[in-house]
A = this chain, B = another copy of it.
Amino acid sequence: MEDAIQTLVIQFKTYAGTDGSPNTLSKDEFCNLVTTQLPNYIKGRDARAVEKLMSSQDENNDGELTFSEFWKLIGQLVSEKEAGLS
């Protein structure tokens, strides 16, 4: 499990480091990440729905997702996808 967690952390940092703040995801970085890395988890969502997904987790509303906010979002997508888990 630790390897899997590390994979998620490293990927987050890779995308977060593309522009601006190296530890948060901008809207572009977020869209890039989910489109490339999580295609099955955002299936059926168009670009607008993906942006909405991001803003739903951007608690302090600064247009950037912290790792915490990103982590919560994945948890939510997994719960949607996996029947029986919540």
Residue in B40, B66, B75, B84 whose beta carbon sits within 8 Å of that of A68 in the complex: B75
Interface membership of A55, Cβ < 8 A: no
Q: Which residues of B contact A1 (CB under 8 A)?
A: 7-8, 11, 33, 37-38
**Complex Cα gap A49–B75 (Å):** 24
Q: Report the copy number of this chain in the oligomer.
A: 2
**Complex Cα gap A71–B67 (Å):** 13
**Complex Cα gap A4–B2 (Å):** 10
A84 CB to nearest chain B CB (Å) = 5
Binding site for B on A (CB under 8 A): 1-5, 7-9, 11-13, 22-23, 33, 37-41, 66-68, 71-72, 74-75, 78-79, 82, 84-86
